[in-house]
Amino acid sequence: MPEPSTTAMRSTPTGVIHDIGYQRYDGPRLGRRHVFGALYLHGVRTTFGFGRSAKAKIFPWLVVGIVTLVAVALAAVRSQIGEPVATYAQFADSMSWLVLFFVAVAAPELVSRDLRSGVLPLYFSRPLPRSDYALAKLLALVTALWLLLGGPQLVMFLGAAFTTKEGMRGVWNELLDLLPGLLYAGLWAVVFASVGLLVASLTGKRAFAAGGVVAVFLMTTPIVGVLSILPSRTANELAGLASPSSLVQGVGIWSLGDLLLGEGDQGGLSIGGFGPVYALAAVVLVAGATALLLARYRKVAS
Amino acid sequence: MSTITWMTARGLFGRRRFLLLLPLPLVLLGLAVLCRSLGVDPGEWGPAVLVGLGLAVVLPVVSLIIGTGVLGAEIDDGTVVHILTKPLPRWQIILPKLAVAAGVTAVTVAVPLYVAGVLADSVRLGLALAAAAALGALAYSALFLALSLVTRRPVLLGLVYVLIWEGLLGNFVSGTKVLSIQQYVIALADRLAPTGLLETTVSVSVASVMTALISIGFTVLAVDRLRSFSVAGETS
């Protein structure tokens, strides 16, 4: 039974919303593309620690420093002895441990921090679809990894180009060597970023995320070693599929050939005639990891 | 069993993410069984599985995740204050946590290593690997527990040690092997069960002394650091 007083209050509302003078925003409202771009740029800056404290820069720049140092050393040795010590693709290969460490530093910073501090609902209340958030983060990590490998390759190229003895022709030949190397670095970046980001997005604790990323990549490497000594030629040649890093190498051997292997060097991984299988597996791996990442962000924080 | 031990164990096992630790030992077991059943020569797969996977990856990574987790997780959450404000001597906080970390790591790693060792060579090798891995788990746990008190980013610093110091430099610069827990574990296991499967350049006396030194030294360091510990917020 309603009270008489509440009925009276319902019929004559007394509440008033006062205008206390907050200024309204009537500038242009940027749409989805701008949100994506801002998130992407912020992501790239985060991976290198820009706009953050000096402590956040230690680990990314440690890796960048070591990689660049190796590239400078290779370029210097090459200019002295006149022979390339390592091709651009071989350089990318030999840096895989450092790339792995960089992913373990960067991926948790990109996604785990947002999960932990519970800001995802704030992001998703903007004109930003959930898939865009995940894709912007993924693209940022890919870019960062590609810069990490491509920058030192450029250093090696500059070193070779300025010391070449064949004039412009030498520079041109060097450039033709560099471009596949950059593509190969892009392959490393895409594979490592998609798998690493997927693992990191599973937990809000950065410590666990970093450990998980490293565990996934390190755990798979010895599997390749074991599979490649099994008494079956097919198993040996397909062994590289078991680990992301040897998968990338397999694709590289298939597509780049002697650019990766060098003369008379077998490179440890023999893929036989299974090159296309490796390429297909790489595509499936990246597509699968991205799809799982998107699926994860369809559910998280909802 | 003290309350701290109980709380630490529950903090480790109470979450689903503990299950994430299981794949590593399972892969180790699976590969050993696979190689054995296919009749591959143990001389070929032994080093790859026992050292390459077991002692170089599973042991340090599991120790890293658990060792930095037992105290680091509470520091991250800020709940470490509740323990620190209790009238407990600091060593009564560190030692139970170290015991839980080392114990859980040792069980997780030693069991699959024992089985793999038996499959590779003999029960003796299995026991030697399990014992050496347990000692290694203690040293690694002490190191990583101390790291979680010394720095705000213990996992990354631990990864630098495992990946770059033991993994990368250990292959190129043999001098760094003298300061690598992984090499001590290999040396100890090789001493307990001499086979051709395990190879190291570190002598057994150096290995045993250094393992003890690392275990005790880093525990003392952790107790000392916890004595004047300041609780800060999330790292920026």
For residue B155, give the nearest of A97, A210, A226 by CB distance: A210
Contact A56 B235 (CB under 8 A): yes
**pLDDT per residue as tens digits for the range B48-83:** 788 888 888 889 989 998 898 888 888 887 888 888
pLDDT number for residue A1: 45
C-alpha to C-alpha distances, B145 to A166, A205, B67, B109, nearest whole angstrom: 58, 17, 5, 18
pLDDT of amino acid B146? 93
Percent of chain A with pLDDT over 90: 32
Q: Taking residues B143-170, report their average pLDDT.
A: 86
Token pair recorded at residue B71: 């105290």
pLDDT band for position A205 (50/70/90)? Answer: confident
- Contact (CB<8Å) A208/B17: yes
Write down the residue that tokens 């940027």 correspond to: A30
Chain A residues in contact with B24 by the CB 8 A cut-off are 215, 219
What number of other Cβ atoms are within 10 A of residue A17's Cβ? 5
Per-residue pLDDT tens digits for B174-199? 777 788 888 898 889 888 888 777 77
- Is the pLDDT at A8 greater than 60, yes or no? no
Q: How many CA atoms lie within 13 A of A281 on its CB side?
A: 21
| Three-state secondary structure call for residue B104 | helix
- Residue range A135-175, pLDDT digits in tens: 999 999 999 999 999 999 999 888 888 887 777 888 888 88
For residue B232, what pLDDT is reported?
Answer: 67
CA-CA distance, B158 to B63, in Å (whole number)? 10
Q: What is the mean pLDDT of residues A96-101?
A: 88
| Structure confidence at residue A268 (pLDDT) | 59
Query: With 50 as the cut, is the pLDDT of residue B37 above it?
Result: yes
pLDDT digits (tens, 9 = 90+) for A13-41: 788 888 888 888 888 888 889 999 999 99
A56 near B CB under 8 A: yes
Instruction: Say if the Cβ atoms of B27 and A219 lie within 8 Å.
Output: yes
Asked if this assembly's ipTM is beyond 0.90, the reply is no
Task: Tell me what the pLDDT averaged over chain B comes to.
Answer: 85
In chain A, which residues have their Cβ closer than 8 Å to the Cβ of B152? 55
**Residue spans per domain, chain B:** 21-227
Rounded to a whole number, what is the distance in Å from the CA of A111 to chain B's nearest CA?
14
Average pLDDT in the A49-74 region? 90
**Is the Cβ of B31 closer than 8 Å to some Cβ of chain A?**
yes
Highest mean pLDDT among A4-13, A68-77, A287-296, B48-57: A287-296
Query: B155 vs A207: CB contact, 8 Å cut-off?
Result: yes
Name residue B52's amino acid: G
Distances from the Cα of A222 to the Cα of A130, A189, B56, B169, B171, angstroms = 36, 22, 10, 18, 16
pLDDT band at residue B100 under the 50/70/90 scheme: very high
Looking at residue A20, its pLDDT comes to 86
Domain ranges for chain A, please list them.
31-299
Place A264 in a pLDDT band, splitting at 50, 70 and 90.
very low
Q: Is B52 on the interface with A (CB under 8 A)?
A: yes
pLDDT at position B21 over 80:
no
Contact (CB, 8 A) for B50 and B117:
yes
Task: Dump the DSSP string for A85-151.
Answer: SS-HHHHHHHTHHHHHHHHHHHHIIIIIHHHHHT-HHHHHTSS--HHHHHHHHHHHHHHHHHHHHHH
pLDDT at A267 over 70: no
pLDDT of residue B153: 83
Distance CA B218, CA A67 (A): 31
Q: List all residues 6 or more positions away from A122 whose beta carbon is below 8 Å from its beta carbon.
A: none
For A193-212, what is the mean pLDDT? 88
